[in-house]
Amino acid sequence: MGLDFSIIPKYLDVVLLGAAWTMGITVASAILSFFGGIVFAVIALYAPWIIRQPFRLIEWVFMGTPLLLQLFLIYFGLVQIGIDLPAFVAGIIGLGLHFAVYNSELIQTAILAVDKGQMEAARTLGLSRGEALRKVVIPQAVRAVIPPIGNNMIALLKDSALVSVIGVSELTLSAQRVIGKTYRPFEFYILAAAFYYVINLCMEWVQRKIERRIAISR
Partner 1 sequence: MDFELMLKVYPFFLEAAWTTILLSVLTAILGLTCGTLGAAARLSRFAALRFLGAAYVSLFRGTPALIQLFILYFGGPQIGIQLDAFEAGVIGLGINAGAYMTETIRGAIISIDKGQREAARTLGLSSWQATYQVILPQASRLMVRPLGVNLNMLIKATALVAAISVIELTYTAQRYIGSTYKPFEMFLLAGVLYMIIIYVVGRGVAWLDRKVQIN
Residues that bind partner 1 (CB under 8 A): 1-3, 60-61, 64-70, 72-73, 76-77, 80, 158-162, 164-165, 172, 175-176, 179, 184-187, 189-190, 192-193, 196-197, 200-201
Nearer to partner 1, 40 or 188 (CB): 188
Q: 71 or 142, CB closer to partner 1? A: 71
> What does the DSSP 8-state code read for residue 5?
G
Q: Distance between CA atoms of 19 and 43, rounded to whole angstroms?
A: 35
Contacts of 29 (CB under 8 A, 6+ apart): 91, 92, 95, 96, 99, 156, 160
* Shortest distance in whole angstroms from residue 77 CB to partner 1: 4
> Could you tell me the smallest distance in angstroms from the CB atom of residue 112 to partner 1?
21
- Which among 18, 17, 30, 13 has a CA at the least distance from the CA of 159? 30
> Does residue 196 contact residue 155 with C-beta atoms inside 8 Å?
no
**Smaller CB separation from partner 1, 125 or 201:** 201
* Rounded least distance, CB 86 to partner 1, Å: 17
For residues 122 and 102, give the distance between their C-alpha atoms in angstroms, rounded to a whole number: 28
Of the pair 138, 159, the CB lying nearest partner 1 is at: 159
Smallest gap from residue 60 Cβ to partner 1 (A):
8
